[in-house]
């Protein structure tokens, strides 16, 4: 990997030049943090802060008001905490809870990638927040930015035996692909370089310019595809042999995001490219990341994701390239079966006399309200819990590894804080997901988290009416086409276009095996309900035995089947 010439750098996008000049992600972050005249970071630092897990945002509800008041926007920061595989200890939960109430907006957001998100941190509290996250033995580095993000893993596989070992690989992949730059410790943890003669930071895998775009990795344990493995740039499907982990089927090239009105951008599902024995996992992950590093488009960020790198050259090119770099050939993929992508709610028995309790958390947003003291309840549970907490891939929470002796203790607390029965909702709602959107996300075009619940109220009524109260249908909403809540994998998908207006997509596969397709463009609630009501009723009446909604709408011709990302728009 050689350095980039100045001519080459000029051809690249601005962010590439910012990375280049940043000295391994330092930029002028330190000075920006100390500037007392503004609650914002310097422009270029807002790109670099992402690599540190920090997004600069502003309260969009106040934007206009503050402009009229001759005040700058209400800048605040979102901090994303990495939780490989979504597993953390009760003590870490308590720290997260404490940070949320001290520096943030008194809520904890569980993300669609099994991470924690804090919102509402003001600049002068940022350093304290990051330091406290690290003190809890979690971190925020590479939670955002052009690097490998939080590595997902099924938190409660049917084959619980496998979980421990697979989870271990998840952590090792995460660790292996974490940036090596000491900038993070320098800026947030006040750890100066030990000696001035120390070599400049080196990134053995990423190099000075990191990746062209975000890179998402997930690990799945069949038959559950809750992590939506095919939506990831890189995936590892656990293959079992005699009750033990043998190796992984490797998937590449998945990615959700697209831009309205630009058909050369599209969501894509990953290809399964082969099988590797488990000892080779880290090497395979590294080489795949390096392929994207070297070949991804750095002149156009909308064309920079791994999916386009592959589609531009073909999957055969990729396999050839990978084998070349590995120095050995990947084996043909082994058989596997996915059956679902949702969470299993309530108490589920694990191994070695443990139980897991999964609760439904609308939009993954944990907070206290008058009716439901969720945050307090979970805090109290964390104080006595001896197992772990697991963030699910559907923005829900699992209280994991509860011994049968502790089970009644936890049950009593769940009851006390009205947390039992969280999952007594329709099958539709239990399989719903929404991204954050307003008021904090700068990219939102329409409401998502703040709107989906009330839309679901209306859809729930229709479902009940049609006798489909307990039928699971995957439904997802995002405020913009970046697709953070994986809307293109919804049997019903909504993507915001303008305030109150959404594109409606139908027909994805129930266990994340097929993308949906555009059904109606730029419609408001009235039309959404008008469109969906007859379809839902027809589904109730005419579906085949065990036929899923996503398959039904294709069979009945509402939308065509999408076989490849390239055909998403056709």
Instruction: Count Cα neighbours of 335 within 13 Å in the Cβ-side half-sphere.
Output: 0
Q: How far is the CB of 129 from another protein (least distance, A)?
A: 16
Asked if 194 is part of the footprint of another protein (rule: CB under 8 A), the reply reads: no
Q: How far is the CB of 228 from another protein (least distance, A)?
A: 38
Paired with 368 in beta bridges are 373
**Known catalytic membership, residue 149:** yes
- Alpha-carbon gap, residue 373 to 380, rounded angstroms: 11
Backbone angles phi, psi at 153, to 5 degrees: -155, 140
Alpha helices in 395-437 (DSSP H): 407-416, 427-430
- The one segment of 67-75, 287-295, 403-411, 443-451 that binds another protein by CB under 8 A: 67-75
76 or 394, CB closer to another protein?
Answer: 76
Q: Which of 197, 209, 40 lies closest to 124, judged by CA?
A: 40
**Known catalytic membership, residue 276:** no
Asked if 69 is part of the footprint of another protein (rule: CB under 8 A), the reply reads: yes
**Known catalytic membership, residue 214:** yes
74 or 298, CB closer to another protein?
Answer: 74
69 or 352, CB closer to another protein?
Answer: 69
Taking residues 163 to 192 in sequence order and writing x for each that binds another protein by CB under 8 A, - otherwise, the string is: ------------------------------
Q: Which of 408, 365, 391 lies closest to 89, judged by CA?
A: 391
- Residue in 3, 43, 72, 457 binding another protein, rule: CB under 8 A: 72
**Known catalytic membership, residue 418:** no
Asked if 31 is part of the footprint of another protein (rule: CB under 8 A), the reply reads: no
**Known catalytic membership, residue 144:** no
Asked if 66 is part of the footprint of another protein (rule: CB under 8 A), the reply reads: yes
Q: Residues 6 or more apart from 123 whose CB is under 8 A from it?
A: 33, 39, 40, 41, 75, 77
Q: How far is the CB of 28 from another protein (least distance, A)?
A: 16
- The one segment of 33-41, 315-323, 447-455, 491-499 that binds another protein by CB under 8 A: 33-41
- Alpha-carbon gap, residue 519 to 535, rounded angstroms: 12
Q: Report whether 219 contacts 154 (CB < 8 A).
A: yes
Asked if 415 is part of the footprint of another protein (rule: CB under 8 A), the reply reads: no
Asked if 547 is part of the footprint of another protein (rule: CB under 8 A), the reply reads: no
Catalytic entry in 214, 379, 425, 514 = 214
Rg of the chain's alpha carbons, rounded to an integer?
23
Q: Where are the beta strands (DSSP E) in 451-500?
A: 475-478, 492-498
Asked if 353 is part of the footprint of another protein (rule: CB under 8 A), the reply reads: no
- Residue in 4, 18, 33, 62 binding another protein, rule: CB under 8 A: 62
Among positive and negative, which fits the CA dihedral 217, 474, 349, 423? positive
The number of angstroms, rounded, from the C-alpha of 539 to the middle of its chain's C-alpha atoms is 30
Q: How far is the CB of 69 from another protein (least distance, A)?
A: 6
3-state secondary structure 306-375: HHHHHHHHCHHHHHHHHHHHHCCCCECCCCCCCCECCCCCEEEECCCCEEEEEECCHHHEECECCCCEHH
Asked if 38 is part of the footprint of another protein (rule: CB under 8 A), the reply reads: yes
How many residues make contact with another protein (CB under 8 A)? 16
Asked if 67 is part of the footprint of another protein (rule: CB under 8 A), the reply reads: yes
Backbone angles phi, psi at 433, to 5 degrees: -150, 145
Asked if 342 is part of the footprint of another protein (rule: CB under 8 A), the reply reads: no
Asked if 124 is part of the footprint of another protein (rule: CB under 8 A), the reply reads: yes
The number of angstroms, rounded, from the C-alpha of 182 to the middle of its chain's C-alpha atoms is 25
**Known catalytic membership, residue 480:** yes
Q: How far is the CB of 71 from another protein (least distance, A)?
A: 5
Catalytic entry in 80, 109, 298, 305 = 80
Asked if 39 is part of the footprint of another protein (rule: CB under 8 A), the reply reads: yes
Among positive and negative, which fits the CA dihedral 498, 503, 504, 509? negative
Asked if 119 is part of the footprint of another protein (rule: CB under 8 A), the reply reads: no
37 or 194, CB closer to another protein?
Answer: 37
- Alpha-carbon gap, residue 425 to 431, rounded angstroms: 10
Give the footprint of another protein on this chain (CB under 8 A). 36-39, 62, 65-72, 74, 122, 124
Catalytic residue numbers read 80, 149, 214, 216, 435, 441, 480, 484
């Amino acid at each position: 990997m050689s350095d980039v010439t100045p001519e080459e750098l000029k051809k690249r996008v601005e962010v590439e030049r910012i990375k280049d000049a940043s000295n391994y992600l330092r930029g002028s972050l330190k000075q920006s943090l100390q500037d007392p005249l503004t609650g914002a970071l310097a422009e270029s630092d807002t790109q670099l802060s992402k690599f540190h897990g920090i997004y600069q945002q502003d309260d969009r509800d106040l934007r206009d008001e503050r402009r009229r008041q001759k005040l700058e926007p209400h800048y605040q920061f979102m901090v994303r905490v990495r939780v490989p595989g979504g597993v953390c200890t009760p003590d870490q939960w308590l720290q997260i809870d404490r940070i949320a109430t001290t520096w943030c907006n008194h809520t904890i957001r569980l993300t669609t990638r099994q991470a924690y998100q804090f919102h509402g941190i003001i600049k002068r509290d940022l350093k304290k927040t990051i330091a406290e996250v690290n003190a809890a033995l979690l971190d925020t580095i590479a939670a955002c930015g052009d690097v490998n993000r939080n590595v997902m893993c099924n938190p409660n596989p049917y084959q619980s035996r496998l979980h421990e070992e697979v989870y271990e690989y998840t952590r090792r992949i995460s660790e292996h692909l974490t940036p090596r730059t000491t900038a993070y410790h320098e800026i947030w943890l006040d750890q100066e370089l030990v000696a001035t003669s120390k070599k400049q930071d080196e990134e053995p895998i990423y190099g000075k310019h990191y990746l062209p775009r975000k890179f998402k990795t997930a690990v799945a344990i069949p038959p559950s595809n809750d992590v939506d493995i095919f939506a990831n740039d890189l995936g590892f499907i656990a293959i079992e042999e005699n009750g033990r982990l043998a190796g992984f089927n490797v998937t590449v090239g998945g990615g959700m995001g697209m831009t309205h009105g630009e058909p050369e951008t599209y969501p894509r599902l990953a290809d399964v490219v082969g099988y590797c024995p488990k000892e080779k996992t880290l090497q395979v992950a590294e080489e795949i990341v390096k392929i994207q590093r070297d070949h991804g488009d750095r002149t156009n960020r909308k064309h920079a994701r791994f999916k386009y790198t592959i589609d531009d050259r073909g999957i055969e090119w990729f396999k050839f390239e990978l084998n070349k770099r590995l120095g050995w050939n990947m084996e043909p993929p082994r058989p596997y079966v996915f059956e679902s992508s949702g969470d299993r709610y309530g108490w589920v028995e694990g191994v070695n006399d443990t139980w897991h309790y999964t609760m439904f958390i609308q939009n993954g947003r944990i907070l206290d309200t008058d009716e439901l003291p969720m945050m307090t309840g979970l805090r109290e549970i964390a104080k006595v819990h001896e197992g772990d907490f697991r963030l699910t891939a559907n923005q829900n929470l699992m209280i994991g590894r509860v011994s049968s002796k502790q089970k009644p203790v936890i049950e009593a607390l769940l009851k006390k804080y009205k947390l039992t029965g969280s999952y007594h909702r329709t099958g539709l709602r239990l399989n719903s997901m929404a991204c954050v959107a307003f008021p904090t996300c700068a990219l939102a075009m329409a409401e998502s988290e703040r709107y989906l619940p009330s839309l679901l109220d209306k859809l729930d009524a229709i479902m009940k009416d049609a006798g489909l109260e307990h039928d699971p249908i995957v439904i997802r909403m995002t405020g913009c086409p970046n697709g953070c809540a994986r809307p293109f994998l919804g049997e019903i998908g909504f993507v915001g276009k303008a305030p109150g207006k959404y594109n409606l997509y139908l027909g994805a596969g129930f266990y994340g095996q097929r993308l949906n397709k555009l059904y109606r463009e730029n419609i408001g609630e009235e039309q959404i309900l008008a469109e969906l009501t007859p379809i839902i009723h027809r589904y109730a009446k005419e579906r085949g035995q065990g036929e899923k909604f996503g398959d039904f709408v294709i069979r009945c011709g509402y939308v065509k089947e999408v076989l490849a990302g390239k055909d998403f728009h056709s």
